[in-house]
Structure formats: structure tokens, C-alpha cells
Amino acid sequence: MTAAVTAPARPRTPVAARRYWPVAAALVLAALGLLLAGRGSWPAALSVDLSGPLGSASDWIVDNRDSHPLFLYFFGHVSNAVVLSVRGVYLVLLAAGWAGVTAAAGLVAWRLAGVRLAVTAVAAFAVCGLLGMWVPTMQTLALMVVAVAASVALGAVLGLAAGLSDRTYRALRPVLDTMQVLPAFAYLLPVVLVFGIGVPAAVLATVVYAAPPMARLTALGLRSADPGVLEAAASLGATGRQRLLTARIPLARKELLLGVNQSIMMALSMAVIASVIGAGGLGDRVYQALASVDVGAALAAGIPIVLLAVVLDRTATGARSRGGSGRAWTGCAAAVVAAALTGRLTGGLTWPEAWHVDIAEPVNRAVDWMTAHLYSGVPLIGGTADWAAHFTGWVLDPVRDGLQALPWWALLMAVGALALVVGTWRTALTAVGAMAAIGVLGVWDASLDTLSQVLAAVAVTLVLGFGIAVGAARSTRLERLLRPVLDVFQTMPQFVYLIPVVALFGVGRAPAVAAAVVYALPAVVRITTQGLRGVDPVALESARSLGATGWQQLRQVQFPLARPALLLAVNQAVVLVLAVVIIGGLVGGGALGYDVVFGLAQGDLATGLVAGAAIVCLGLMLDRVTQPTAEKEA
Amino acid sequence: MRMRTRTAAGAAGTLALLILTGCGAADMTRQASPYAAARGTKTVTLSVQSWVGAQANVAVAKYLLEHELGYRVDTVQVDEVPAWDALSQGRVDALLEDWGHPEQEQRYVAGKKTIARGGDLGVTGHIGWFVPTYFAKAHPDVTDWKNLNKYADELRTAESGGKGQLLDGSPSYVTNDKALVENLGLDYKVVFAGSEAAQITQIKQFAKERKPFLTYWYKPQWLFEKVPMTEVKLPAYKEGCDADPEKVACAYPHTPLQKFLNADFARDGGKAAAFLKNFRWTTEAQNEVALMIAEQKLTPEAAAGKWVAANEPTWRKWMP
């Protein structure tokens, strides 16, 4: 306890000086490297070509999928179980009809989160129907139900193990931490390798992606249980199992429900991205529409995704504060059955076609108008396409070419130095190792292309995010205005962000960067605002009394004191931006994301898997380089 | 206590495993989509590829299956090569337009016998390199590959670096372009637009400003009606000259596009299978439907309906 109190009194300057010398050294070396070596790509002698073995592994799987016992007795059953359960849920949803499903959504929302959300839920499902997306929405919902159930169960089991045993906790924690920062796209390839394109692969990828938060939070909840209460339970003679069931798990209720909430959101995000490997449903509609740059159709499928996300998130959040009595639930069930039966008797089960509203056409007309008028040649400010072209030509190209021209060893050293400044020697080692692995995999240039997009997007995000956050920290009214906007933006699945940017910037690297910026901005704004607000008011007051201007206060008091929050914001920005830049491969972002898409499209899993592994390494490196763990570990 | 829990858990696990495996082997070649046949009707699952011609085939087949034969049709968006795997696994029943994948044909049709041929689509496909006709008229000699290097400077873009740009499209299409550029000693770089839509947008932009460009493109394709293009002659195609993908130095063949069906579906698919085997139309008909979808922005269903209403004698012959 005392250590925490005395820690801030530790003299900082010498430590800082000691920690900044690696950066200086790296900069000098990089400059030297640029002068000495012309082109600095990873040497071919140090890379391993995995396409041969990976290709033959993939061939072996295809050839043996219907005869080898491993598939007959294990993967085959897994796959069948997934198909059966998704089908079961889907049939139930269809049998309930639109009336039944909408009623069920409204009542569940009402019981768990109150009347306002119930109205929202009913409206949301009605909009899905109005947009003509009823069946795809049900397909996505069916897939989600199965995936969430599986990931909550898996996460709870892992979390229980980690919560009860220290050794398991120590073994699992780094794995879960790492899984948390990896882009969703990287999870797609390995499951496709085994299951082929289709619903089973999509569900399993979703489960792998959505289970870690549940496991983390379960473990956290169990481990942070009040020792006093446990002691009391033990002194009353409770056995280990009784203590677990009557004390530890109820005490961890908040974390458990938060875990479920997080799993739902991650599953939705993934279920949509998994359309690339045949998940069907809403994501598939977005994917198809993006492939033909049909913004209107993409929006029609994107709106239900957003609504689903908002409703699910709010309901799960509401469930944390309320419960419900058994009788009320029975009443609700009866009401749902009644609604379903009425729907069945009075009309069709699917949403009546006469009630469809076609938004694709007006939206496309608006986009066409925009393309004709705003796209280019607007006096003074130029058009959106001009911005995109300038951004590509003046920012993305130089950064990419610069990175690719840098000798590989200089880049490795720069990565290590940066990680050493921000984190510990251990994070630095991981970062350098991950970066080297990219070279060994033989995708050095493509990875640097992706990296250049990430760097550009992070820079833009931070400038915008810090700017907005400074404003929000100063003005309570602005913060209150921003909060609902940030809430909605943070719950939206990554895929949705691709739609508007394609409309605005066309196809290429610039729209990928723009989508990444918009996706990462809310988290950065939120963390930075909190950090700036948390600055000790006494320090600010004393600065003011010394006559510091607003800018001086900000630069010399607020920013330095909020340093941990700012570092966390940078870390989050990097992780979130990477996730979207990779998906940008679907709208012409090229580089690693494109390689994954290419691998899937050509059935060339070797290319896809290598790119996927490189994405993992890049994510690991970026996270470690920006991870402010130095103080925590010490 | 703990001991007993562990034993119980172990027993439960074993039991679960037994239940799973006890019912015997699971067949990974019978993996229907969970969304198929949802309302107890006869269902056919068709795979759709991303280009509009393929969408036109599927739209018309779907329309006729639903309105004339009483099937419910599910469509799955899947690219050609994964579609072969999905066909073999039974996830889709038919692939209506294949541009030639000898390796897959060898593996699934001859080897595993999980896929059966469905006959000609009636459309002949051809891939090639094209320049806009306005450019070819101004510089007639550009249509021979031997003169391409002369124009590399004019065809340079930001993405192609110091070389000329050869624009390629979707990652899923059949292409030998990288090998061709290498083996013909051309001063060009293959730039992938990422999707066909992106490629079309790019071509339209070039055409609007009447700039020269060189692109991978294919026939039949509706864009020729909007942007007239002239093919660049590559060294003539000879049987087998594209056998080794690394050493290709010849043009793309003219491919009669093929249909493929899941083997079980072909055998037991009843009227739907018979209809899909009979389905055979012309390049003009496909272009007509494709143009309605791509340029008039009709939904595929509406476009198919329009075509079906006007061409009854043609499709009557396909009915089993």
C-alpha cells in the first residue's frame, strides 16, 4: 500500500533521460542507414517461403476432408452441430414471424431495461422490416445467438479456471491480452482452412473472437471478490463449491454481465465481417453491395446492423442493473406467443412486401449527385476525390516509400527503441521479434504498406481526437452533446464504416484510412477527455494563479499530468485503426488486407494465411510499442 | 470433494464425446446451408459470382425456378474457386459460369467425383488486354504487344511507379498477367484495383477525361457498350501454352463457359437439376440482362422478369 503512495515522489528526470537515449540512437542510425543503403527491403536470404508447405497442407485437408477420421469423427460433428443449431434458431425465428420476433424484442427490452428501450427495440425491428432486410436480419440474429451462447459458455469455463487457479491465470492472461488486440480479419483464415467457406467457419471464427472478453472479465470478477466476504463464508463452514456458488459468483455478477455484453458486441462485429467467409445475412448484403460500389444497397443492410448493435448493447447494459421476477417472464412469453399467433393468422410470416421502403435508389441518386458535384473541381476547397488523391499522393505515398526505403535493421531498431521508451525491455523484445517475424514470413513490403496506412490514420485520429477532447474537457455542454454520438459510434461494427467512405472518397487507400479514423476517434476522444478532466484541479488552479494562459495550462499542466491517459489513447487508436485498415482491403486498401481477400477469393490459403500471420505480428508490434506498462510492472 | 467434481466432469466430458461420436461418422460432403429450405419447400442453392454476367445467369435461373417450377432459391455470394469447394461439400448446388479451372476439375470431377458437369452455358468467354478505342485509333500500332513498351511512359500512374500501368481487377478472377508481363519483357506493372467495381469506376474516369489506359478485361461484358475498347494482340494461344502458370507467354483462350453441379444434386435434384442442365443461352441475351442490372440499376429479379416475359420461346426449351 505504501509503495503506491510514495511512487509519485520518485525523481523522474534522470529516468526519463536514460529512457530517451535509445530514440536518439535509433534516429541517428536510421539516418545513417538511409545514406548508406539505397533500398532496404528484408533480405531474401533471411525469409522462409511458407507457401509450399501451407499449400500442401490445404490440399491435404481438401483431399482428406471426407475420409480422414479426424474430420469424420471430430470436425464433421462440430460442423454439423453448428449447422443444426443455427438452423434450429433460424427456424424458430421464422416460425415466430415478424410479429412474434418484434414483440419478443420489445418485451425483453422492457423487462431488462425499461420502456424507452422497449420502444427503441420495436422501432428497430420495424425498420429492419421496412428496409426489406427481414430475412437477412434473422439469419444474422440466428448466427449471433448460437455464437454468443457458445462464446459465453467457453469464456465462462476459461474464466472460471483462470479465476480459481493462479497457474492457469498466469498462463492464460498473456494469450487473452494478445487476442484482444488482434484485428478480427486475422481470425478468418485458420477456420476456413479446416471447415471451408460457410456458416460453420463463420460461427467458429466469431466464437474465437468473442470468447476472450468473457474469459477475462469472469476471471477478473472471481479474483477481485471481497476477501472479507469469502473469509466470512469460510468461517461459516462453507465448502469450496458452496463458497464459489453462493459467494464468489454472485459477487462477480457485475463483471459477468459486462462480459456477456462485451461478447455480444464483439460477436455482432465479427458475424458481420465473417460474411467474407460465407456467414450470409446482413454482412453478406453489405459485402456484395461494396463489391459493386452500390452505396444505397450497402446502407440498407448497414442500418439494421447498427440498430441491432444499439438495441443489443443497451439491453445487455440494462440487464446489469435490473433483474426480473419469474411470473413477469411467463407473462412476457405468453404475450410473445400470442403476438406470433396473431401474426401467423392475420398475415404472412415474413415482413409484408408492400411495406418495404426502397432507400437504395434515393441514396444512390444522392451519391451520384455528390459524385457529379462534390467529387472534384469544387472551387477553393477541391472535391472529396481531390482530397483523397492529395492525401494518397502527399501523405500515404511518401510515408510508404519512406518506410520501404528504410533499411530493415534500422526499422527493427526504431521499433525496439520506441517500445523501450514507452514500455519495458520485455515489450521491446516482443515488438522487435514480431517485426522480424514479418520479414521472415516474406511479406515485408506489403506489411510496411499497411503500416504506412496505420501511421497516417493514427496521426489524423490523434490530431482530431485530442482537439475534440480538449474542447470537451473545457466545456461541459460540448461533452454532453458528444456523449450520445460517441456511444453510438462505439457500438457500431467495423464493417459499417466502409459504406460512407466509399461514397465520399471512391475506392483506394484513402477511404480505408478515413474509415479507420472515424472508427478509432470515439475511443480516443473519450479516454483523452477523461484523462484531462481527471487532472488535479489544485495544480490547474495554481497554474492559473501564476498567470498561465489557456494554452500554457494545457501544454504544461494538463497534458503532462494526463500522460497515462494520453498514452492509453494512443494505444487504443493504434489497435482500432489497424483493425479497420485491414478490412480496407475490401475497398481497395491493398496490402495485407487485400492478400487475405485474395487468399479467400482464389482459394490460395497459403497467401491468405501468411498475410494473416503478418497481421497478427503487426498488431502485436503496434500494441507493444505503444503499451504504457512501465510504471505498472514496476 | 474436489476429487469427485473432477471425476464427474471427466465422466460428463467422456459422455458428451461418446454422444457426439457415437452416432458414427459425420459426412463433410453433405453440408447444406442452415438457411436452405427454411419453409419446408424444395430448395436450390445457387452460387453467385461478383461479376454482372454471372448475376444475370443466376437471376434468370432463379426467376424461372421460382415462378415456373415452384422451387425456393437461395443464393450465396462466393467466388469461383471457393465455389468449387462449396459445390463439393454440398453447400451450394450449382455454379453456372466457370471460366476454366483445370486443376479443380481434375480434383473434384475426375478424382473425388463429388462434382458433375452441367454442360455449356452457351456463352463463350474471352479474357484479354484492352486499350480504349479512341487511343487505338490515334496510335494504331498499340494493338500489338510488341509495341507496348513504346507507350509505357504514357500509361504511367501514381500507383505503377516508374512503369506503365496494367490495370487488373478483382482478386478472384483468372489471370496470368504478372507472368505475362515478366515473360514478354514488358515495362509494365500490374496494379490490382481490388474489385471489379473499382476497376470499372477507374475505367470510366479515364474514359471521361479521354486518357489512355491498358486494362485486363473480358468478353462478354456490358461495359463495352459504354466505353468501346480494342484488344491488344498477345502472342497467339496454343493448346497447353498456359499449362505452367510461371511460364505463360501467350494470349488467353476463348473459353466456352461451363456449368457445374454438385454430384448428388445432379443425380437426385429432380426437375431443378434437369432445368439447370438445359439452361443455355447466348452472349447477347446475357448482355441484355446484365446491362439492365448494371446500367439501368434494375434489381436482378426485375431484370430477369423483364427478360423472361419477352423471351418465352427461348426458355420454354429449358423446361424439363
Per-residue model confidence as pLDDT tens digits over B71-80: 888 888 788 8
B 114-153 residues with CB < 8 A to A: 114
Instruction: Find chain A residues with C-beta within 8 A of B76's C-beta.
Output: 278, 280, 284
The CATH architecture of the domain made up of A375-633 is: Orthogonal Bundle (1.10)
Q: What is the mean pLDDT of chain B?
A: 83
Q: Does residue B101 lie in a domain region?
A: yes
> B92: left (phi > 0), else alpha (psi -120 to 50), else beta?
beta
Residue A11 predicted with pLDDT over 50: no
Q: What DSSP designation does B107 have?
A: I
Q: Do B134 and B157 lie in a common domain?
A: yes
Q: Do B240 and B260 lie in a common domain?
A: no
Spatial separation of the C-alpha atoms in residues A548 and A554, rounded to whole Å? 9
For residue A632, name the pLDDT band (cuts at 50, 70, 90): very low
Instruction: Find chain B residues with C-beta within 8 A of A397's C-beta.
Output: 158
Q: Domain containing B227 — which CATH number?
A: 3.40.190.100
Residue B134 has a pLDDT of: 93
Q: Read off the pLDDT of residues B241-257 as tens digits, 9 standing for 90 and up.
A: 888 878 888 899 888 99
For residue B95, name the pLDDT band (cuts at 50, 70, 90): very high
Instruction: Give the closest of B20, B28, B201 to A293, CB-based.
Output: B201
Q: Do B264 and B243 lie in a common domain?
A: no
Residue A375: closest C-alpha in chain B:
B205
Q: Does residue B14 lie in a domain region?
A: no
CA distance B34 to chain A (A): 5
Q: Read off the pLDDT of residues B174-230 as tens digits, 9 standing for 90 and up.
A: 888 888 998 999 999 888 777 777 788 778 878 887 889 999 999 888 888 889 999
Residue A191 predicted with pLDDT over 80: yes
Instruction: Give the closest of B76, B158, B194 to A587, CB-based.
Output: B194
Mean pLDDT within B27-55: 71
Instruction: Find chain A residues with C-beta within 8 A of B297's C-beta.
Output: 361, 364
Residue B62 has a pLDDT of: 93
Q: Do B283 and B138 lie in a common domain?
A: no
Residue B20 predicted with pLDDT over 80: no
B 274-303 residues with CB < 8 A to A: 297
Task: Detail the DSSP E strand segments found in chain B.
Answer: 43-48, 72-77, 94-98, 115-132, 164-168, 188-192, 214-219, 229-232, 254-262
For residue B3, name the pLDDT band (cuts at 50, 70, 90): very low
Low-confidence winner among A423-427, A489-493, A512-516 (lowest mean pLDDT) = A489-493
Contacts of B200 (CB under 8 A, 6+ apart): B223
Query: How buried is B15 (Cβ within 10 angstroms: 0-12 exposed, 13-18 middle, 19+ buried)?
Result: exposed
Q: Read off the pLDDT of residues A139-188 as tens digits, 9 standing for 90 and up.
A: 899 999 999 999 999 999 999 888 888 888 888 888 887 787 778 888 88
Q: Would an 8 Å CB–CB cutoff place A372 in contact with chain B?
A: no
Q: Would an 8 Å CB–CB cutoff place B31 in contact with chain A?
A: yes
Interface residue of B5, B27, B33, B35 to substitute, partner A, most A CBs within 10 Å:
B35
Query: How buried is A91 (Cβ within 10 angstroms: 0-12 exposed, 13-18 middle, 19+ buried)?
Result: middle
Residue A556 predicted with pLDDT over 50: yes
Q: Would an 8 Å CB–CB cutoff place A95 in contact with chain B?
A: no
Domain A86-220+260-350 classified CATH 1.10.3720? yes
Most confident by average pLDDT, A103-107, A536-540, B138-142? B138-142
Q: What is the mean pLDDT of chain A?
A: 80
Residue with cell 487508436: A573
Instruction: Find chain B residues with C-beta within 8 A of A86's C-beta.
Output: 34
Residue B33 has a pLDDT of: 67
Q: Which of A180, A187, A49 is closest to A582 using CA atoms?
A: A187
Which one of B254, B286, B308 terminates a domain?
A: B254
CB-based contact B82 A603, cutoff 8 Å: yes
Q: Do B161 and B197 lie in a common domain?
A: yes
Q: Which residues of A528-539 are buried (b: 16+ CB within 10 A; e: fewer)?
A: bbbbbbebeeee
Query: How buried is B178 (Cβ within 10 angstroms: 0-12 exposed, 13-18 middle, 19+ buried)?
Result: middle
Residue B297: closest C-alpha in chain A:
A361
Query: How many CB atoms within 10 Å of residue A25?
Result: 13
Residue A18 predicted with pLDDT over 60: no
CB-based contact B194 A364, cutoff 8 Å: no
CB-based contact B34 A278, cutoff 8 Å: no
Mean pLDDT within B68-72: 86
Residue A94 has a pLDDT of: 83
Q: Do B82 and B199 lie in a common domain?
A: no
Residue B262 predicted with pLDDT over 80: yes
Residue A297 has a pLDDT of: 82
Which one of B203, B236, B254 terminates a domain?
A: B254
Q: Does residue B3 lie in a domain region?
A: no
CA distance B39 to chain A (A): 8
Longest dimension (CA), chain B: 90
For residue B41, name the pLDDT band (cuts at 50, 70, 90): low
Instruction: Give the closest of A76, A393, A598 to B26, CB-based.
Output: A76
Q: Do B75 and B132 lie in a common domain?
A: no
Which one of B225, B254, B283 terminates a domain?
A: B254
CB-based contact B91 A278, cutoff 8 Å: yes
Instruction: Find chain A residues with C-beta within 8 A of B27's C-beta.
Output: 66, 72, 76
Q: Would an 8 Å CB–CB cutoff place B33 in contact with chain A?
A: yes
What's the structural domain count of chain B?
2
Please tell me if the domain spanning A86-220+260-350 has the same topology as the one spanning A375-633.
yes
Q: Domain containing B302 — which CATH number?
A: 3.40.190.10
Q: Which of A153, A235, A259, A195 is closest to A61 using CA atoms?
A: A195
CB-based contact B172 A397, cutoff 8 Å: no
Structural domain harbouring B69:
43-124+256-316
Q: Would an 8 Å CB–CB cutoff place A293 in contact with chain B?
A: yes
Whether the ipTM is more than 0.85: the answer is no
Instruction: Find chain A residues with C-beta within 8 A of B84's C-beta.
Output: 603
User: Where in chain A are the domains?
Assistant: 86-220+260-350, 375-633
Residue A503 has a pLDDT of: 73
Residue B11 predicted with pLDDT over 60: no
Spatial separation of the C-alpha atoms in residues A51 and B106, rounded to whole Å? 21
Q: Read off the pLDDT of residues A411-454 as tens digits, 9 standing for 90 and up.
A: 888 888 888 887 788 888 888 999 999 888 888 888 999 999 99
Whether the full predicted model's pTM is greater than 0.95, yes or no, is no
Rg (CA), chain B: 24
Residue A462 has a pLDDT of: 93
Interface residue of A56, A64, A80, A244 to substitute, partner B, most B CBs within 10 Å:
A80
Residue B211 has a pLDDT of: 86
CA distance B135 to chain A (A): 24
Q: Does residue B15 lie in a domain region?
A: no
Q: Do B114 and B161 lie in a common domain?
A: no
